[in-house]
Structure 1
Amino acid sequence: MVKYLSFFCLILGIFICNGQESDFVRGQLLDIESRQPVVFATVRIKGKALGVISNTDGGFKIPLKHKLTGEVLEISSMGYEKIEVPLSMFNDKTILAINMKPALFELNEVTVSKRRRRAVNFSAREIVYKAIENLPNNVSMEPYSYVGYYRDYQLKNESYNNLNEALLQVYDQGFNISDYETSKIRIFDYRQNTDFPIDTLGLKPYDYSKRTKTISNATLSGYGGNEFVILRIHNPIRNYKINSFDFVNRFDSDFTRNHTFYKEEDVIVNGEYLYHVSFELLGTKVEVKGDLYITQDNFAITGFNYITYKKQGKGDSEKTILFETKVEYIEEGGKMYLSYHSMNNSFRLATPPKLQLEDTTLDLNRNQFILEFTNLLDEKSASRLSNYDIIFNGEPLKFDAITIIGNEVSLIPDLDNKKSRDLFREIIYLANRDKITSENLRIELKRIKDEKGNLINEPDYENRKQFREFFVQELQLESSIVPKDNLLMKKNRPLFKNQPINKPDNFKDYWMNTPLPNIKN
């Protein structure tokens, strides 16, 4: 079903587009019934193999020049009617809200004309077997290339942080050859988007030894720190002959053995029936659920969603996603090609302790140590001498009195004890000569709390999400020859660190589909 929507049906609202680039027009796709964003919809310029994928907020942007030349957008998404929207309806100062209508099954005999259901009633497992068996026939074994928009970011308090963006060209040597070993990438441009908050704490690498940044129940190989390589490894369709990630493992041999499958109601995409097969994994420390969308005439995989959840405890009100990957393919010339790939994982980030020792002073006039803390102290825990160890040259110093005022603690040495008296005199001697260091004087604190119950040196933890996403803007089936120069991406180096940049002559044909600052409507 391809049609122009009437002006009144199409426009749900117009949002002021403060601070947006004047050389773009922006839209937002919304479900006409639920008013929720339509995520990862395909937005193409009609008659051209060029376009974008809608963001998490349903938003997208198109260069203004396409409006000036009278272009029309073709918009499609799984489970929705395909529509066409003239770019003349957009302007560069507002965001045009566009309704998407769910595809209705009661109209299937009238509206669905491209491909009909197959008469054979296959089971869910048989459908998946056939889809995997037919992969070599349905995907391109020949070299090809495509240009796309890459981004990675973190979500903190439902807002984007640490947003990096790039325009890339991928030279894929064909599905029968290892992607990691043979595919080459050229970087047209990349940037750290400073319009979004930069959180240096979240940028730290994963550290499983000190547990400062970890993924619960999982590890994530760094592949030299290259974010795009990490994303591509987690596409089990492209890597169907190698181990991609648990519990998919080798898609062609392990996936059907590891999961249980269920046949769901068919879905309609662009006037075509698709099999919808859901799956799950039982008997592990985590919970796994997912979906496959498969064409009914040649069993081509168009969509693959895989979600790993933390198992719920008795007090958990909702599921926590540990890992999720979404892959969608589109048909071109009888073969399936990547449309987009989105991957996200939850991680736990250790933040600086709320209660720390801020400063230490040796008061020579009153013969005492003064410890200054970051917060007001809980007197009960702070008044225990056993919670303080001051060690000089490996020997502990004894104290016989303590006073607490707000966030300061005064420790008075036991000068009646000869050993402590001698140690304290030596400390004074070195202090007068500025020779006290962390090597000869060490302060150890334990079980001390502040007024709010924060424990000394105990890190706090935040749960965040890390996203890596790639959206194809243009397929170039005739441009598959890998350039013979030194301007290809270094796979063992972070994508945004000292990589070669090479902008083609038609660089302005591509653009970064930067999301709106907040993912909420």
Structure 2
Amino acid sequence: MKTLKFNKYLLALFLLIVGVNTLFAQDTDFIELEARVIDKDTKDALVFADVLILDTNISTVTNTDGEFLLKVPHTNLDGSIIISHLGYEKKELKISSIMNNEKIALEPAITELDEISISLVTKDARDLVERTLEKKSSLYNNENSVMTAFYRETIKKRRKNASLSEAVVKIHKQPYNNFRTDNIELIKARKNTDYSKLDTLALKLQGGPFSNLYTDIIKYPEFIFTPEDMPKYKFSYGKSTKINNRQIYVVNFKQKEDIGIPLYFGKLYIDAETLALTNAVYSLNVSNRELSSRMYVRKKPRKVDVYPTEAKYRVNYRTTNGKWQYAYSNISLTFKVNWKGKLFNSTYTLNSEMAITDWQIQDTKLAKKRSNLITPSTIISEKASGFSDPRFWGAYNIIEPEKSIESAIKKIQKQLKRT
């Protein structure tokens, strides 16, 4: 089944290995803009909000605390930023007017999309999804492009961060109207791991940035909605919403009750005017422990049982000059690890996210023999080194680390110094 291809790139269990690869850079031709995005009414943090410098391709997203850090080139200091979030009115602010650590409030979008509007397109939610998947040649970027992206993966044992890996990569994104797969170059990478928290066995995320790239449902529909699997899903309309002042259809999907194999369930957010997919949030049905385990676990000792208890995915798209393209994705996988003969089990959570922070059209083709190309079987943590230099990223935009991650980095560094 083609759907299984998506998962086989995601995870592997291996004995811990330490790799070394260090790069340092510094650049002062920019300022750092820090702020927090919140709901105007509830004051809650807005997670995964899109932050873009107007009239550029420079962008980032807010973290789980609603915070962002954006490196603004001096040439853009007189410009503006656009902040948008699903279900909220977008906000445009002059960069010069924003104070560091300022709270920026977005107003919830009030929307009413009646059944008549829906019926003008189709009353059949599955038909709407199929039309959306057919739109990739007309609505999405059909030129070769090079995307700069920031990638982060964390591994938690229970609630404590045990391993952190980050990387800047360049994605050689193929046009959406062809079937060629994307390529990824590793530019810079670093990691920290507290081996005392991982026992003798660790979960490692195989695939790294490729895992997140494959959540691009429009480019890679074969990993979730194959023609063979579409009839196995039940599609229905949910309550509509707004993004960037545009009406959005919400389509719920889940596997039919009589289907025994693990499939996905979640929501698709589709632009009401163009039928473009703007966002998707979905999970794998892991109720069949044996089959779902086969989809993820590539290698493990015989005395260990490993199975997923949760597998969640998110992908966001962004539009520029009327064309949509991949912008951000997040994967969260939770596993139970049972050692035979031991009374207690361990719970591990693996989270990876990747955000496009800049991009440009690229006319020339990628040289396949570049030494820093990575593959879908790459384990990023084996190609990275420590967190020692605060100037490491230079002018590259990154996703601001959460408070828990910042705290974990400090604790891990202390642990490594002691050992």
Same fold (TM over 0.5): yes
Q: Using a 3 Å threshold, how does the CA distance of structure 1 residues 25 and 128 change in structure 2: closer, same or farther? A: same
2:239 to 265, 268, 282: 265
Find the counterpart in structure 2 of residue 105 from structure 1.
111
Question: Whole-Å Cα distance in 2 between the matches of residues 161 and 343 of structure 1?
Answer: 17
SS of structure 2 residue aligned to 1:47: coil
Bigger relative contact order, structure 1 or 2, given CA contacts below 8 A and separation 6+? Answer: 2
The one-letter amino acid paired with 2:183 is K
2:33 to 20, 25, 29: 25
SS of structure 1 residue aligned to 2:374: coil
Q: How far did 1:463 drift?
A: 1.9
Find the counterpart in structure 2 of residue 387 from structure 1.
none
Q: How far did 1:291 drift?
A: 0.6
Q: Using a 3 Å threshold, how does the CA distance of structure 1 residues 289 and 274 change in structure 2: closer, same or farther? A: same
1:339 to 327, 331, 350: 327
Question: Whole-Å Cα distance in 2 between the matches of residues 73 and 277 of structure 1?
Answer: 30
1:45 to 41, 53, 71: 53
Root mean square deviation, CA, Å? 3.6
Q: How far did 1:341 drift?
A: 1.3
Q: 8 Å contact 2:38–2:106 — kept in the other structure?
A: yes
TM-score by length of 1: 0.58
Question: Whole-Å Cα distance in 1 between the matches of residues 370 and 121 of structure 2?
Answer: 53
The reply on whether 1:256 has 2:253 as its aligned counterpart is: no
Q: Which of the two has higher C-alpha Rg?
A: 1
Q: Using a 3 Å threshold, how does the CA distance of structure 1 residues 42 and 129 change in structure 2: closer, same or farther? A: same
Question: Whole-Å Cα distance in 2 between the matches of residues 482 and 184 of structure 1?
Answer: 8
Q: How far did 1:76 drift?
A: 0.4
Q: How far did 1:512 drift?
A: 2.1
For residues 299-318 of structure 1, the aligned pairs below 5 Å read: 299-308=275-284, 311=287
Question: Whole-Å Cα distance in 2 between the matches of residues 493 and 287 of structure 1?
Answer: 25
Q: 8 Å contact 2:54–2:82 — kept in the other structure?
A: yes
2:359 to 472, 475, 485: 475
Q: How far did 1:348 drift?
A: 1.6
Q: 8 Å contact 1:340–1:470 — kept in the other structure?
A: yes
Q: How far did 1:67 drift?
A: 10
Q: 8 Å contact 1:57–1:519 — kept in the other structure?
A: no
For residues 116-265 of structure 1, the aligned pairs below 5 Å read: 119-156=120-157, 158=159, 160-178=161-179, 182-193=181-192, 201=198, 204-206=201-203, 225-240=206-221, 242=222, 244=223, 248=224, 251-265=225-239
Find the counterpart in structure 1 of residue 270 from structure 2.
294
Q: How far did 1:124 drift?
A: 1.4
Offset from partner CA, 1:7-64 (integer Å, 9 cap, x none): xxxxxxxxxxxxxxx9633222122233332111110112211010111221111226
The reply on whether 1:511 has 2:382 as its aligned counterpart is: no
Q: Using a 3 Å threshold, how does the CA distance of structure 1 residues 231 and 121 change in structure 2: closer, same or farther? A: closer
Q: Using a 3 Å threshold, how does the CA distance of structure 1 residues 86 and 33 change in structure 2: closer, same or farther? A: same
The one-letter amino acid paired with 2:380 is L
Question: Whole-Å Cα distance in 1 between the matches of residues 196 and 400 of structure 2?
Answer: 18
The reply on whether 1:486 has 2:370 as its aligned counterpart is: yes
Offset from partner CA, 1:163-221 (integer Å, 9 cap, x none): 21111111122235555xx4222222111157xx6665179455xxxxxx9xxxxxxxx
The one-letter amino acid paired with 2:252 is S
Q: Using a 3 Å threshold, how does the CA distance of structure 1 residues 160 and 86 change in structure 2: closer, same or farther? A: farther
The one-letter amino acid paired with 1:297 is E
Question: Whole-Å Cα distance in 1 between the matches of residues 85 and 322 of structure 2?
Answer: 20
The one-letter amino acid paired with 1:330 is R
Structure 1 unmatched runs, 5+: 1-21, 109-115, 207-212, 214-221, 313-319, 354-456, 500-506
Q: 8 Å contact 1:347–1:463 — kept in the other structure?
A: yes
Question: Whole-Å Cα distance in 2 between the matches of residues 101 and 186 of structure 1?
Answer: 39
Offset from partner CA, 1:273-322 (integer Å, 9 cap, x none): 1211111224347785311111223321111221135559xxxxxxx961
SS of structure 2 residue aligned to 1:28: strand
Find the counterpart in structure 1 of residue 96 from structure 2.
88
Q: How far did 1:135 drift?
A: 2.8
Question: Whole-Å Cα distance in 2 between the matches of residues 79 and 270 of structure 1?
Answer: 9
Q: How far did 1:226 drift?
A: 3.2
Q: 8 Å contact 1:159–1:517 — kept in the other structure?
A: no
SS of structure 2 residue aligned to 1:97: strand
Question: Whole-Å Cα distance in 2 between the matches of residues 203 and 470 of structure 1?
Answer: 28
SS of structure 1 residue aligned to 2:213: helix
Q: Using a 3 Å threshold, how does the CA distance of structure 1 residues 32 and 257 change in structure 2: closer, same or farther? A: same
Q: Using a 3 Å threshold, how does the CA distance of structure 1 residues 133 and 91 change in structure 2: closer, same or farther? A: closer
Q: Using a 3 Å threshold, how does the CA distance of structure 1 residues 321 and 98 change in structure 2: closer, same or farther? A: farther
Question: Whole-Å Cα distance in 2 between the matches of residues 339 and 333 of structure 1?
Answer: 15
SS of structure 2 residue aligned to 1:126: helix
For residues 423-434 of structure 1, the aligned pairs below 5 Å read: none
**What is the aligned length?**
346
For residues 414-425 of structure 1, the aligned pairs below 5 Å read: none
Q: How far did 1:86 drift?
A: 3.2
TM-score by length of 2: 0.71
Q: Using a 3 Å threshold, how does the CA distance of structure 1 residues 160 and 101 change in structure 2: closer, same or farther? A: farther
Q: How far did 1:78 drift?
A: 1.0
Q: 8 Å contact 2:208–2:378 — kept in the other structure?
A: no
Q: Using a 3 Å threshold, how does the CA distance of structure 1 residues 143 and 288 change in structure 2: closer, same or farther? A: closer
- After TM superposition, where is structure 1 displaced by more than 6 Å over at least 4 residues in a row? none
SS of structure 1 residue aligned to 2:133: helix
1:464 to 348, 357, 370: 348
Question: Whole-Å Cα distance in 1 between the matches of residues 52 and 271 of structure 2?
Answer: 21
Q: 8 Å contact 2:331–2:352 — kept in the other structure?
A: yes
Question: Whole-Å Cα distance in 2 between the matches of residues 37 and 519 of structure 1?
Answer: 17
Structure 2 unmatched runs, 5+: 1-29, 289-307, 385-392, 407-419
The reply on whether 1:324 has 2:305 as its aligned counterpart is: no
